[in-house]
Structures are given as C-alpha cells and as structure tokens.
Structure 1
C-alpha cells in the first residue's frame, strides 16, 4: 500500500505542476468528515479522521452562532476563516462556498463542506480528488470523504447520523465517524481525529467559542481514543458544574454533579475527592471519611491538599472535623 500511495502521490503532484496552480504547497488531509447541526439546541459540529498527522489542526473550523467548515483533500485552509466570515455576514452556506470555490484555481483538488447557523449545508468534491471520493448532504448535515477504501463510507456516515437522532450532537457525530471506519475508512489506515462543537449563539469571548474541542493527533486507534476523550469531557462538564455549585454554596447540587462524574469514572481520584468535599460541606462527614481514606491511600498529596482548602472557603468544616478526616 505504501508504494502504491507514493506512486499515486507523485502522479498527483506531477499533474498539479502541469496545471501550474500551486496546490503542491498545500497540506494533505485525505480523510472523511462530517459537519452537522442539532436542530433542537442549535449546536454545530465538525468530526474528522485521517491517516495523516494532526488532521484537526487544518480541517475543522467553527464559530459559535455562525457555522462550521471542513476543508480537506489538498487543504486550502483559507476556506475556514474566509467561509466563517462570509457566513457571519449573512451569506448562506451554499453561496459562501460557491464564492470561494469560484476564485480557487486549485478547486479540482479540494473537498469542502459548509454549514451555517440556520442549518443550510453545502458540499463540494473536486474532480481530481482521489477515489473513493464523494460528498452527501442531508437535513442539517453534510458528510464527505476522499481516498476511501470503498464507496460505502459516505453513505454509512449519513445513515448513522440519521439513525442516532436522539443522541447529543457530539455523540451523534462520533457514531458517524465510527460508521465510516466500520465501512472501510481511509484506504491508508488510521492516525488522527478531531471533534469540535460550537454553540448556537454568537459570543465576543474567544474562550466561549467552542463547547467541545478535542484532538487526537497521533494514535493507532484515533476514533476509539476520541470517543474516550469525549466521555472524559462529559464527566468534567459535571465536575465544572459541581465547582460552580460550590462557589454558589449549593452543596446539594455540587454533590449531585460530582457524583454523576464519579459514576462515569469510578476510579478517578479527583472526582472521588470533590464528591467527599461536597459530602463534608453538607454535614455528612461520616459518609465522606471512607472516601477520603481511600483517596489518601492512593495518593498522599490529596491529604496535604485538604488542609489547604479551609482558608479559601472551599471546605467549610470545623478544625476538629478536619482532624478526624486527616487522622
């Protein structure tokens, strides 16, 4: 497969040079991807996998309240920021993509998908994209792939996205990526994957742009690793809500959130510790003690950590109760 791909690559570069369009300077991202929108929440997402290093750094683009872009094959990264700018100015996805394609001399080598905040989608697959290459649009989504093992990959992604309609958007996108791999995936194999999710409302705060931003840059099983990271991210969403509840003095909510996180990762010491803190702050010291004991046994640094919490107001128990926990 390696020699065949090298021959194919040399042929492609030679063809590009002969057309004098400068695409040989662009990064490769022969891959499969999906851009999608949740019609209920308004969230938008891009999911992607490739046998190429760090695919998420060049393929996936998104802006809250505006839209998402996947740009692949011989990647022209300008489609990301320029496409988002056009959609931010009210240009629908199809028109925005058409405008950029028309001015791109290397369009025959491009594969791109746009989705805007209203759910309009558009996809383009250049005539020189390596087969199996195809894009397919449905309600609130577009799936696209090039250099696939077979022509079943793109339909499999679309079918999975529709079938798992009850899932949250990020998990739904993951099912589409899994389906692509099960159908054959990239003819070269697997290496990297990425998932971003942006919200339905525009924001001026850059740190609020992405609700989920996960990348697996180099891994033997990137889809499985990305799925694991998504589960971790969901658990830490509970942890973050627990922290906010602690700040607000709502120990009942904090306990519920920390407990939900711990159920997802029962061996995670961080989650156990903060659940025990919430129990202690709720006056349930006896329930908290065995949890603290287990955590301290696994890592004594947590025992030092607990002594530093009362001055900050995060742990609101008496000195006597603190001594009982430590001893």
Structure 2
C-alpha cells in the first residue's frame, strides 16, 4: 500500500529535522549535542568539569570526579561505565589513556561517544567517536596542559574559543571553567540549541562547603543561569569575607568585599537581609534600607524578614513598611536577635524588658536577654534570665549551653 503524498512529505520532513542524529536515531539512540571542558588545577589539587547541552539535566550523566584520582566527562551517547571502570583502572596504576581504552575496546557503541579523562597528575586523553562526523556541525576535541575541551554539533570556533579562554582566564578552577563554557556559548555553542548546563569541582583539600556542584537542568539560557549560580556561590564567600574583615578591624577591606558581594548576590533575595545587616555594621544605613526595600519589591514574601529590621522603623524611607503593633512574639525575637547580631546589646536589654512589661514573654526572648547580659559581662543577670528561659522550655539548648559555659 502506498503512503499518501502528505504522509510521505511528513515522513521525510521528520527525517530532515533530526538529520544530525540520523545514524543513531535509526538505532533508537537519544543523542544530544554537547560541549564540555575537563581540567585539573595542580596548585589547589582540584578536578573539575563544566558541560552544556540541548537536553535536560546534563549534569546527571556526563560528569564523574574522584578527588585525588581523576575525572571523566562522557558526552554524545553517554555511558557511565567509562568512568566506573576508568577509576578502577586508575587505582590499579593504569594511564588515563589505558583507563579509557579499556572500556572503549569492549564498547560496540564507542563510535557514538565522546570521552575525556584526566588523572591525578593532570595527564589527559580523549576520543571522539567516528560516527559523530556524520552529524551536522563540528565534533572534535582539543587537549591542552591539564585540560580537555570537546563537543559535537558545534559551530566551528566553539572549541578553540573554549581552549583560549581557559588558558588566559584568572581565578579559581571553577571560575576558569565557567569562563571557558561562556566563551563556547558566545562562539555559537550547539547548532541545535541549548537547554541545560552543569559545573562540578572537587578537591582533595576542600571542605564540603568548598566543593562546587552547580546545575541548571532546564532553561532557555542555561550557561548564563549557571554563571549566575556561580556568582551566588562566590558572592556569599565575599560577604563572609566582609564580615570577617569588619571583626578584624579592617574596614577598607570589609567595604571592598561587601561591594563585590552586592554585585554577585543581586537576584538572590534570600541574602538581602544579610547584605542589609552588613551595611548597618559598616555604618551605611542608607544602603541597608535600599536592600530591604529591594527585597520587598522583588519578592512579596520577603516581608517575613522585616521585623528583624525593627530598629529602622523610624527611617523616613521605611515609613509604612514596619508595623510593630502587628508583631508576633517570634517577630519580636527576630528584632532582638538582629540587634544582638549588630552588637547593640544595651538596646536588646532595654527592648526585652519593655516587651516583658507588656506581657510579651517566651523562652527564647529570655535567652536573648540573658545572652545580652552575658555579653555585657553581667553574669548574675545573665544566669537569672537563662534559668527563666529553661523554666519555660527545658529543651532550650542554647540557654542550657550558655548557662553551662557561665557556670563552668
């Protein structure tokens, strides 16, 4: 039976639409255009991979890192066994080339894959499956000192741009990987579009909070969104550095780091209260108010943070935003806690006693009052209110710990 001409037309249009994947499409494969960079930093003992693709959650199946051993990136038609067996071979003392070739020699689908690897010393190896040359766009790899860039279905200059960017970039390994990925996208990226991106960095000397695992699983601008996540990561570090510098009495460094953090954290409304309080610590009330109002304008639910900024209620710019008459007990606790975090213990003591006289009472409020007396070196009154806090709530662990500290 002959197909109607309209059906034939639709059939061939469908084949043309997927022509870049034709060799694997007929075999039921699910291949997607991808580009990645894998690298090692010999100074920090870190390994990292950054990758972008036109499919969802690319970080789920393309990045494999074991600090102190090496890393693998498997793209095109992914296959985790390259990393699983590869790490085992590296443990046995095999070279990175042998570690990859071990699986490739047993893989009858190797012609559909791209695999790169790097060992504990930064030695690299990669291969691009022979069938990838039949897809639209460029499919190849570039091996450099301590890094590999590779990809398929790409504009011609993508990999060279990634390589050049990585070699000239400054900053941490994660930042250099990010610069490389951004350069690849700006050079045209994948000819078939973009949907997800990921970046992972792990090191032998890194605490858990210094390991980076960032993913954008579905987006119309995944690389830009991934860069924003990295800005958030380093912005929070800059903010902590600002607070530390302030405690150490280095105000110029504190102001510099705070300014850097503000640029990097713009868009993360959950950090605006910390930015505002940091500005108060550094005597920039006007900027603190700006961040409070910015939080409210960008996220209506941000108003939950407002009671903590009770001390700003009389500022003309805050008129109508803070209404103490509607505060709950927890709101007052937030107000007291913020004052204490700012080192304004005498204000905590004055406000807490006023609240208690108005019959606003709680275990945590008494703990905050006792803690402020402790900070003011009045242990007798500190003990009084800490004991009262425990009478109201025997499970108030913060009151218990501070009381034990005073009595020890």
TM-score (norm 2): 0.63
Q: What does residue 317 of structure 1 align with?
A: 344
| Structure 2 counterparts to residues 195-274 of structure 1, below 5 A | 195-201=199-205, 207=208, 211-239=211-239, 250=247, 252=249, 256=254, 260-265=260-265, 270-274=270-274
Which residue is 2:151 aligned to? 145
Query: For the residues of structure 1 that align with 2:141 and 2:284, how far apart are their CA atoms?
Result: 54
In 2: Cα distance, 1:173 partner to 1:58 partner: 18
Structure 1 pair 159/259, CA: closer, same or farther in 2 (3 Å)? closer
Q: Name the residue aligned to 2:105.
A: 102
Gap change, CA 1:293 and 1:183, over 3 Å in 2: closer
Q: Does 1:170 align with 2:182?
A: no
Counterpart check, 1:192 vs 2:196: yes
Q: Which of 134, 139, 142 is equivalent to 1:136?
A: 142
Gaps of 5+ in 2: 1-12, 297-301, 310-331, 352-408
Tell me what 2:314 maps to: none
Displacement after TM superposition at 1:184 (Å): 3.1
Question: Hey, what does 1:159 align to over in structure 2?
Answer: 164
- Root-mean-square deviation over aligned CA pairs: 3.5
Query: Is the aligned partner of 1:75 residue 2:42?
Result: no
Taking a change above 3 Å as real, the CA distance of residues 291 and 167 of structure 1, as seen in their structure-2 partners, is closer
Question: For 1:275 and 1:154, how far apart are their aligned partners in 2?
Answer: 39
Structure 2: distance between partners of 1:188 and 1:138? 27
Asked if structure 2 preserves the Cα contact closer than 8 Å seen for 1:273 and 1:291, the reply is: no
User: What stretches of structure 1 of length at least 5 have no aligned partner?
Assistant: 17-23
How far apart, CA to CA, are the structure 1 residues paired with 2:278 and 2:165?
40
Larger deviation, residues 257-266 vs 124-133: 257-266
Between the two proteins, the alignment pairs up a number of residues equal to: 302
Distance 1:87 1:253 in 2: 47
Change (3 A) 1:168 1:13: same
Q: SS in structure 2 opposite 1:69?
A: strand
Q: SS state of the match for residue 28, structure 1?
A: coil
Which residue is equivalent to 2:304? Answer: 301
2:393 aligns with none
- Following TM superposition, by how much is the alpha carbon of 1:10 offset from its aligned partner in structure 2, in angstroms? 4.4
The 8 Å contact of residues 196 and 216 in structure 2, kept in 1 or not, is answered as yes
Aligned-partner SS, 2:211: strand
Does the 8 A contact of 1:295 with 1:302 survive in 2?
Answer: no
Between the aligned partners of 1:67 and 1:240, the Cα distance in structure 2 is 31
Q: Which residue of 1 aligns with 2:24?
A: 12
- Residues 279 and 287, structure 2, Cα contact 8 Å, conserved in 1: no
Please give the alpha-carbon distance, in whole angstroms, between the structure 2 residues aligned to 1:279 and 1:251: 16
In the TM superposition, what whole-angstrom CA distance separates every residue of 1:88-118 from its partner, at most 9, and x where no partner exists? 4543322211212122222121110001221
Relative to structure 1, the CA distance from residue 319 to residue 57 in structure 2 (aligned partners, 3 Å threshold; closer, same or farther) is: same
C-alpha distance in 2 between matches for 1:314 and 1:276: 12
How far the C-alpha of 1:78 sits from its partner, in A, is 2.1
CA separation in 2, counterparts of 1:51 and 1:213? 20
Higher relative contact order (Cα pairs below 8 Å, separated by 6+ residues): 1
The structure-2 alpha-carbon separation of the partners of 1:79 and 1:295, relative to structure 1 and needing over 3 Å to count, comes to same
Q: 1:11, 1:124 → 2: CA distance? A: 18
How big is each residue's C-alpha offset from its partner over 1:262-281, in whole Å with a ceiling of 9 and x where there is no partner? 2534676654533554576x
Mapped partners of 2:279, 2:228: distance in 1: 28
- The answer on whether the counterparts of 2:53 and 2:190 sit within 8 Å (CA) in structure 1 is yes
The 3 A distance-change label for structure 1 pair 47 and 321 is same
- The answer to whether structure 1 residue 116 and structure 2 residue 108 are counterparts is no
CA–CA distance in structure 2, aligned partners of residues 212 and 195 of structure 1: 7
Distance, in Å, in 1 between the alignment partners of 2:91 and 2:305 is: 47
Within 2, Cα distance between the matches of 1:319 and 1:29? 62
